Structure 1
């Protein structure tokens, strides 16, 4: 990571010994995973960070300066730089913080041991204050400190516990699970946007079925998603198997639909509650239908390729879904003007005839050339135009 030009430039600007890479970037690097987002912790104040970056020609944005966070934009890299902090007060959603120069104190306010690893590029050393390296090696996601207290500080940690368990865990930490179950009702105090974001991140993982089962069996979703029960698990498992068989990437909204009742109205209601975007609401509701998919390309032409792929995969039709990869629905190569030039009187008959031509064209697999001409001639003849 430190070899990437933008990160190297930022570290040089902030000064050796006063900055460490932290969190996901360190964790993922140790696991040999690709590192996308990079976070940096520093003993410098946010204003000093901005001053030093400015002197080095690095642009900064005070994205969360009251909480010590400055975003640095360096040679194509977007890096969050946060001053070491300690929590003064928390209410389950927000924290009041004070800046500190104590690295361990900063680590103590983080959620899980595997997320509290720091890498000092100057020393080439990983700092681990709470056993995160051992937990990472053993596939264990464990709260730092007392789990019940950590959840009371930030209720979103319930969902994060399960997401990280699904991603990194080889089992589940029983103390963490018990605490999440005991405080499940705390989720009701969170904004629905935060719940939706974390839930969809979990569903986007390669195979979250076992973790979702665990959550449902322990009643974790009941306070915020009562529509989902354990009876929906086979549908999720079937969908994941179909995605893998088709070689199609996970889609969290599609997987969400698998867990909901097959009722677009219910899906719409849930999507509205979670304040999903209009596009996401439409896709979730479409995927939740019980309608038989039918011919893949005809379906894709009618409702769109993404939504058609969702329905096919949810129906277990992996091969049919795979057949849509790379296919772009064509446009009907006949317009109203073409029909009028061929003798059809302008008016409602034009739209009706076009609709009839389009229906047959789609049904026959989008023919062109001579067969398309035949379809047009036949439908024109049916109107008496020729």
Structure 2
């Protein structure tokens, strides 16, 4: 492939990035390059979120040069050679060129390098090992990443099994990147390696697995990829309870209603309709308390149309909407409807002569239940319900 350049993009023309380059490489010796996602996504005309740089300079030299230029830095990962420059347009991670000394499937011990190709060789996929000169935007490609990008082909650098054994999380990264950038049929060698080495995922932290899985499920339509993970035996290792066939109808419903992808909704859809099991799975994957609660709420599934709004009031609109979408039920009752706030307060009951205490709480609950049953009438009706409830209780005394 002929020499290629990054197209001019807003981020490549940022003044603060130009100042950063001048600070690290004042003489224009080629001491810094953009690398990874920013290069890949710009070539694909995708909006760039994060900017990473690589340099043969070691962290102390990077910090010293940034300080001399008045650029604040944060030592975010010195053991792995990473310093973050704090810029007006957003942080930029600057990482010293590296080579792997040893790997154990989870972590790597690295040594610093002066060789760009050596640094590229330790990256996972060819499309992630593209570098660009910040001054003339020339792209440097050591392993055919430009051709793979043009063909929407996802390939490991080197032997897939070797790269996976270095870090088993690369199996999940492979499927996420395949869903985002790849075309079908996928690379057979990569799939075979992912399938054969899938048991190695058991050695990873649950947090890393959950994070990668949720990033995959956040993509526009990961259903074919998740189904392939199931066929290859990968999904059963990380989420044995999952049913990948639940994704296509849910994603179709999302598209039909122009509803944005929500990874936790899709995660919940793949789990059985069992709130206790959903809670256990969330705990096993070290999800947050809020995420686990949401999974349990959504796991109850089907909702009669007339109960949609009461459910939304009880568990929240988001959880109710997810249950409707997953169950294939109509979301019409919630469209254009905001969950109302119950207008009655305890003090309003006391003001009507009810002694503060348990009776106030009981009246509050009774009126609220009737308010929900009557489809959330206005405050005047709530006051009428209150008077009726107070009178009823007085008759019982």
Fold agreement, TM-score > 0.5: yes
Task: Say which of 191, 195, 201 aligns to 1:187.
Answer: 201
Alignment of 1:120-135 (within 5 A): 120-135=133-148
In the alignment, which residue of structure 2 is the partner of 1:96? 109
Return the alpha-carbon distance in structure 2 between the equivalents of residues 20 and 318 of structure 1.
51
Question: Does the CA contact (< 8 Å) of 2:99 and 2:113 recur in 1?
Answer: yes
* Equivalent residue runs for 1:315-330 within 5 Å: 315-317=327-329, 319-320=331-332, 323=335, 327=338, 329-330=339-340
1:293–1:311: 8 Å Cα contact kept in structure 2? Answer: no
Q: Where does residue 369 of structure 2 map in the other structure?
A: 359
Instruction: Name the residue aligned to 1:255.
Output: 266
SS at 1:257's partner residue? helix
Of 231, 234, 246 in structure 1, the residue corresponding to residue 245 of structure 2 is: 234
Is 1:308 equivalent to 2:308 in the alignment?
no
What root-mean-square deviation, in Å, do the aligned CA atoms of Structure 1 and Structure 2 show?
A: 1.8
Please say if residues 344 and 385 of structure 1, whose CA atoms lie closer than 8 Å, have aligned partners that are also in contact. no
**CA distance 1:51–1:270, shift in 2 (3 Å):** same
Any unmatched runs of 5+ in structure 1? none
CA distance in 1, matches of 2:145, 2:291: 36
Q: Which residue of 2 aligns with 1:34?
A: 47
> In the aligned structure 2, how far is the partner of 1:278 from the partner of 1:324?
29
Secondary structure of 1:384's counterpart equals: helix
Is 1:4 matched with 2:14? yes
Shift of 1:298: 2.0
TM-score, normalised to structure 2, is 0.92
Q: TM-score, normalised by structure 1?
A: 0.94
Residue deviations 1:9-35 (CA, integer Å, cap 9, x gap): 212211131111100110011110100
Alignment pair present for 1:215 and 2:232: no
Aligned residues between the structures = 381
State the distance in 1 between where 2:188 and 2:123 align: 19
Bigger mean CA offset, 257-266 vs 370-379: 370-379
Alpha-carbon deviation of 1:347? 3.5
In structure 2, C-alpha distance between the alignment counterparts of 1:317 and 1:239, rounded to whole Å: 11
Q: Which of 261, 277, 280 lines up with 2:288 in the alignment?
A: 277
1:203 and 1:256 in contact (8 A); partners too: yes
Q: Which runs of 5+ in 2 are unaligned?
A: 1-10
User: Displaced runs of 4+ in structure 1, greater than 6 A?
Assistant: none
**Residues 302 and 329 in structure 2, CA contact (< 8 A), matched pair in contact too:** no
Distance in 2 between residues matched to 1:314 and 1:203, nearest whole Å? 15
Give the whole-Å Cα distance in 2 for the aligned partners of 1:27 and 1:318.
40
Structure 1 residues 99 and 322, CA gap change in structure 2 (3 angstroms): farther
Task: State the Cα distance separating 1:38 from its structure 2 match.
Answer: 0.8
The 1:321/1:138 distance shift into structure 2, 3 A limit, reads: farther
- Tell me what 2:8 maps to: none
For the structure 1 residues 182 and 321, does the alpha-carbon distance in structure 2 shift closer, same or farther, using more than 3 Å as the test? farther
Give the alignment partner of residue 382 of structure 1, picking from 369, 379, 392. Answer: 392
Residue equivalent to 1:288 = 299
Q: Residue 246 of structure 1 contacts residue 322 of structure 1 at CA under 8 Å; is this kept in 2?
A: no
Q: Which residue of 2 aligns with 1:164?
A: 177
Q: Which moved more, 1:119-128 or 1:339-348?
A: 339-348
Is residue 33 of structure 2 the alignment partner of residue 20 of structure 1? yes
SS at match of 1:80: strand
CA contact (8 A) 1:60 1:70 kept: yes
> 2:277: which partner in 1?
266
Counterpart of 2:102 in 1: which secondary structure? Answer: strand
**What is the aligned partner in structure 1 of residue 168 from structure 2?**
155
SS at match of 2:236: coil
Deviations 1:162-221 (A, max 9, x none): 000000111111110001001010101111111111011001101000000000011012
8 Å CA contact 2:343–2:379 kept in 1: the answer is: no
Corresponding position of 1:65? 78
Please give the alpha-carbon distance, in whole angstroms, between the structure 1 residues aligned to 2:136 and 2:276: 57
1:299 aligns with 2:311: yes
CA deviations 1:105-145 (Å, max 9, x no partner) are: 10010000010010102232001111111111111110000
Counterpart contact for 2:308–2:334, Cα < 8 Å:
no
